[in-house]
Amino acid sequence: MFANAGVPMIFVHWPLMLCALLPVILLEALLIRRWLVLSFRDAFVGVGKANVLSTLVGVPLAWLAMFVLELAVMLPFGLVAETSEWQSAGPVWEILGFLLSVAWLPPAEDYLHWMVPAAVALLLVPCFFLSVLLERSSCLRSWPAAEPARVRRGVFAANLASYALLFVLACGWVGFELVTKGAHVETRRAELSGPWNGSQPIGSEPHTTSPAAGSRR
């Protein structure tokens, strides 16, 4: 499915954030209600407005920022590596390539089972900072009687709690995919690259796609 184009993570990450919207609003409203001494209704309405704003605006902006960063770094890097025949293989380059490609994953189909949830986890980082920025201004308008400094601290702490929970869930998703599908993928790759596979000439090197190989677009 993603053999040629890779995976634009906005179409994975954004729907997941929309699905998490109501639980996140409930969690943050309960926390902020205690810290700012608000009624549950006031806390829920204020936090709800702020989270709708950060989800509809902040999430795509965070993805766009990461995508622009990916293009700004990976395209020149790929051109330099190709023209100078610079060897960029190795675990360090693979990790850096993946970290810079979380907005649009490369076409590494054998690795997508864990790369997709890992990218979801990493995209939560820029989303967190944009959410705090957007939600602070929204909540200050929703609760004009509250002390501004306490509102800012409360919004930061509530977002930290909700995003930490989402990050743990995303990491659990990564672990689940590695445990349930990792061995199967390695077995399939071994079968496809084995000498008994008629499509693989004897003595030739099996062709594999590394996680960051498709990043140099």
> 174-215: per-residue pLDDT in tens?
999 999 987 666 666 666 665 545 444 444 444 445 555 555
Contacts 24+ apart (CB under 8 A), 81-88: 81/216, 82/216
The CA distance from 192 to 52, in Å, is 47
Cα 52 to Cα 212: distance, rounded to the nearest angstrom: 34
CA-closest candidate to residue 103, choices 13, 216, 5: 13
Helices (H), 37-111: 40-53, 59-83, 91-99
Look over the chain and give the mean of its residue pLDDT values, rounded to a whole number: 85
Average pLDDT over residues 130-143: 97
Give the list of residues 6+ apart from residue 174 with CB closer than 8 angstroms, or none: 114, 117, 118, 121
- What pTM was estimated for this model as a whole? 0.80
Structure tokens that stand for 15 in this block = 């729907």
- Give kind and range of the element (H or E) at residue 183: helix 148-193
Q: What SS3 class is residue 64?
A: helix
Q: Would you state the pLDDT for residue 188?
A: 63
d(CA 138, CA 216): 39
Gap between the Cα atoms of 161 and 150, Å rounded: 16
Element (H, E) at 7: strand 7-8
Q: What is the pLDDT of residues 111-136, one digit of tens each?
A: 899 999 999 999 999 999 999 999 99
